[in-house]
Chain A
């Protein structure tokens, strides 16, 4: 059994609004598995079903080969969870919060706690209600990792962290991976998924539409090109683009093929300005996965 987490035929309906349907995931031990999709696609619903926060309409979740039910505390020991919004107990100091969390595990976590606190630069004497969103997230990361879980499940993990802290966070995740920890994390930011994930599942409108190795996704890069040139019309003709691509003297289009081919074509013209941008995830869904 090489899968630490398996989701089988998971379906969840919320009355009128969309949930998820027939989600299947197999997460191998020791990988960083990205779960990506636009807002409202069903990432949080899937994760909340996995964590038994909400009830499934059908389907099963297995942790380390064993059916994961609400009562299963043994399996919960193996899981670290970071919700998208970290909410902790007002009135407690950070160190008291960490201690309270530690009290649920029958082991001494102090060494790992101090490592994480140092790495994330957390002031443990602050009160929970004094923390900014980013700092709250950092405490959440400590709470998710302190007991050295076998699998860490994170919902929108890096949101709220400043760029420097994001770096520290990615570093921690890669270190965890080296130790053999599996990480399953959802995001709507493609670049962070690209950076650290081995495998990625893409969810759209409640359905998994693609599961792939990160390498394959990276190979099929899609970019947005913006060109300002007096020869916009000729370029449109040569690239067989629609006339609508020209807006206010700027030619703008999504490009999926080999970028070198494009460069060869463009080199023939006098270009005033050229911008090549990464698409955000929403656009990728519209242009690439439709």
Chain B
């Protein structure tokens, strides 16, 4: 598995209200090499920020984040080719009118030949059970299908790592299970940011993020227990 290394990585933003800087994520040092890594924490705790740093969508204000030795701040384009990322709301990340076109868009860099590109895109859709929806508008899909399409678009390029930010938050139970099965059947390294405690129990290592700090880091069941306890405390 690739090595995701945070070296005292810290994110601060200018805050218009406070006349100064606000810390989104305090200095974090971590080395992640497990296959399935879960990140849980309250809204606004900094867990999405942590996840976004893995592919350079957010670069650390100080410190460094490396993916297999590549500095995400300096070599963002290379890192993003290796690290796929999906967002909570699939509607925001699907950019082309039809399903097959959206997957083709992802493949633009890796598959130069247009005919071949469409073929690979169709094959990818078939793998995600979307073969029949290929020419359908992305707006005609159900929520679960949209999330599957978003994942298909990202996984079509076969990244080494998949970072996924709350992939099941907008889904019903059936679709949550379907997406969950898919995520845990992937051969890639998976970084899963989620509020779904059942899903996160299946991870090899779980980080709990609170108030911009990783406050627990360890085995899944113990991490979930820690998280539930911090939430229950007054």
> Do A and B interact?
no
